[in-house]
Structure 1
């Protein structure tokens, strides 16, 4: 029986639920991205959480290649206002850049308070009856020690494009995770 790695399982889940190609291109995970909310609710590649459980910003953990590396974290909803009518794809929920790397030998919580908040956290709020929404966390390694934007992000959150943003800012996708939430 072939051995399946956690990276292969993650990529398979991302494909199965359409994160690849709706949000990100094909990629090979380089670190496990662990996201957990203060109530002990951990995100696990497509599990279901309620919107109420996810209103406060979560703790994020990952293993850095080098403690001097910097990272950018994005949380996005590609299903706005619904998966069948994603005219506002993607809705930008959170962006934190210039996150310092942690130990290269262990997965450790990231100190997000030391990063640069480009978009303040906004918890999930799927429209009532719109079905399950995918809330996607993307971790990017920065090519420079401090991410600066040529043009500031607009105040509008709908219509964001993670692929375009990462290409324009020289970011390399290294980890992803996601969950579902809905408002029946």
Structure 2
């Protein structure tokens, strides 16, 4: 079942298609700050890539992890889709992202205004596969990427909110 906050915060729709969670996805920064839907982090808390643990029961199942900021478009580029922050594939079930292949290295989110949603989406692969890094981090589209690599619907997702260190106020 999908967490209602994914629908309420428009993660379902803006970033992902409706799906049913079928694998556990645990994301933690600094080995103690667990990410849960709608929690808040400042950029100084998330400088280093998080620990990501993936559930499942069969090491032969492989997963792709995508981390995006769908709120990155700026007034100068209103047509931008999402900003890709991290992409890892071929992660075996029951392990973590460190056992996968970094296709796009982790980049710390650095919102300049407003509150940004930072989304982790996990997809089950049909088998071991080669994934090519997109040309740019800008204008990434999670739905299009999943379709291009035949990943189907997500099997898990979690998001947090982030704003600049001295930030306050509403969503972009």
Band of TM-score, shorter chain:
0.7 to 0.9
* Count of residues paired in the alignment: 163
1:123 corresponds, among 84, 105, 108, to 108
After superposition, the CA RMSD in angstroms is 1.8
Q: Does the residue aligned with 1:92 lie in a helix, a strand or coil?
A: strand
* Structure-2 separation of matches of 1:42 and 1:87: 32
Q: Of 159, 180, 184, which residue of structure 1 is paired with 2:139? A: 159
Pick aligned residue for 1:148 from 118, 121, 130:
130
CA contact (8 A) 1:79 1:86 kept: no
The alpha carbon displacement at 1:86 in A equals: 5.1
Deviation at 1:80, TM superposition (A): 0.8
Structure 1 16/142 Cα, relative in aligned 2: closer, same or farther at 3 Å? same
1:82–1:131 contact (8 Å) kept in structure 2: no
Whole-angstrom CA distance in 2 between matches of 1:73 and 1:93: 11
